[in-house]
Amino acid sequence: MESDKREAFQNKIKEINDNRANKEVTIEGIWVDFKTAIITEAEKTLGYQEKQDNTEWFDEECRESINLKNKKYMERPTRARNEAYKEARRKADKICRKKKQAFLNEQLLQLEEDFKNNKTKNAFGQIKYMKEGFKPKTEFTRDKKGLLIDNKIEIMNTWKEYFEQLLNQNQNMEDNEDNEEENTDDGEGEEEEIIEPPTKEEVEEALKEQKLNKAPGGDNIPAELLKAGGQEGIIALHRIINKVWEEEKIPEDWGKSIICPIFKKGDKLTCINYREISVTIKLKRLQWAGHVQRMDKERIPKKILYSTTGGRRRAGKPRTRWIDAVEEDAKKLMGVRNWKRAAQDREEWRGLIREAKARHRAVAT
């Protein structure tokens, strides 16, 4: 981002910070103001990048030659006109082949230049695009009976039903376990470690570790925009995180996610040939938790894993900790109750992760 645009962007965030400095607002209000300011100012200063044309080599000369060929084809057929059409077709094909080959040569030169300049991400991305070629968009699907559906509403309902069944396949198991186990935690008589709210320095460090060139979530705010906010952006994020910490609530947007179906194999029109990403994320979290469990107790990741929200919780309010989610996922996805012991053995833990992945693939198919 250019320096003048970056400065204008940061000034807008500063304006939001100043307006909210001494006002009592809800967590939802703070987040909506911040999100609106980020997106609106980004649209003004940066705008949108036009979608890249997949046929850059197809220029006016190609278009004219093909139009001439089509015109010859539409004429009343005679022997002379048939020969003229064939000649126009040969000429159009020759021009298009020549233009396409020249474009590919330019791409190869650009790839070589990218590798020389250590721009490997751009280079391998272009190689992948050139290798895969054109992929037609799938605009239809099949119902449970295998019949083709072309109505958009019916297509959305089919996908909704599929993901509801897929994402809630363990719900009955969880309900049965809840009925069997009595919850004796009344929220009193516990001594919980009091953890201070995150500092501005911790927020800044976490923002620095965010990776770039990643797809944004439902709020459409990529990490690049958050980093471009500078110190004003860090102040705004720190205020939001502290508000979440105090109220033990998150903005509505944070509870939403985008489902990205990942095609594996088979018929692209059949829903069961796609995998959801939520279980994949949970297994990745378990893999990460096993790695953290083997760390020294003074390491920051382990402190975060075992941390809980600050202050005294209200009577009857459940604890919200990372470790609770890990224990639940280990029980549901891996069938492991004492995950801390299992995680101490690296090979055993990796084997359990692989078995869970294999079981999930079997259920999905």
What is the reported pLDDT for 146? Answer: 84
Asked if residue 94 has pLDDT above 90, the reply is yes
What's the average model confidence in pLDDT over 154-173? 74
Q: Which residue has the higher pLDDT, 220 or 259?
A: 220
Q: pLDDT tens, 308-359? A: 555 454 444 445 566 777 777 787 777 788 888 888 888 888 888 888 777 6
Q: Which residue has the higher pLDDT, 95 or 6?
A: 95
Collapsing DSSP states into helix, strand and coil, what is residue 34?
A: helix
What's the average model confidence in pLDDT over 145-150? 86
Whole-number percent of the chain with pLDDT over 90: 9
What is the reported pLDDT for 249? Answer: 83
Q: Which residue has the higher pLDDT, 295 or 185?
A: 295
H or E element: which one contains 274? strand 274-275
What's the average model confidence in pLDDT over 211-239? 85
What's the average model confidence in pLDDT over 253-264? 77
What is the reported pLDDT for 89? Answer: 94
Instruction: Give the alpha-carbon dihedral of 77, 83, 87, 92, to 10 degrees.
Output: 20
Asked if residue 261 has pLDDT above 80, the reply is no
Asked if residue 108 has pLDDT above 50, the reply is yes
What is the reported pLDDT for 7? Answer: 80
The conformation of residue 138, written as its DSSP 8-state character, comes to -
**Cα angle value 224/255/243 (rounded, 5°):** 75
Pairwise CA distance, residues 333 & 262, whole Å: 20
Torsion sign (Cα): 102, 104, 109, 114? positive
Instruction: Give the alpha-carbon dihedral of 28, 32, 38, 40, to 10 degrees.
Output: 180
Q: Which residue has the higher pLDDT, 163 or 70?
A: 70
Collapsing DSSP states into helix, strand and coil, what is residue 27?
A: helix
Q: pLDDT tens, 14-58? A: 877 777 666 667 888 888 888 888 888 888 877 777 766 666 788
* Range of lowest pLDDT (160-164, 230-234, 295-299): 295-299
What is the reported pLDDT for 316? Answer: 45
Asked if residue 102 has pLDDT above 50, the reply is yes
pTM: 0.56
What's the average model confidence in pLDDT over 227-244? 86
The CA distances from residue 15 to 20, 41, 148, in Å, are: 9, 12, 53
pLDDT, the chain, mean: 78
* Range of lowest pLDDT (239-248, 294-303, 315-324): 315-324
What is the reported pLDDT for 362? Answer: 46
Nearest Cα neighbor of 244 from 203, 214, 209 is 203
What's the average model confidence in pLDDT over 204-228? 85
Whole-number percent of the chain with pLDDT over 70: 78
Query: What is the pLDDT confidence band of residue 255, given thresholds at 50, 70 and 90?
Result: confident
Pairwise CA distance, residues 74 & 69, whole Å: 9
Pairwise CA distance, residues 115 & 130, whole Å: 16
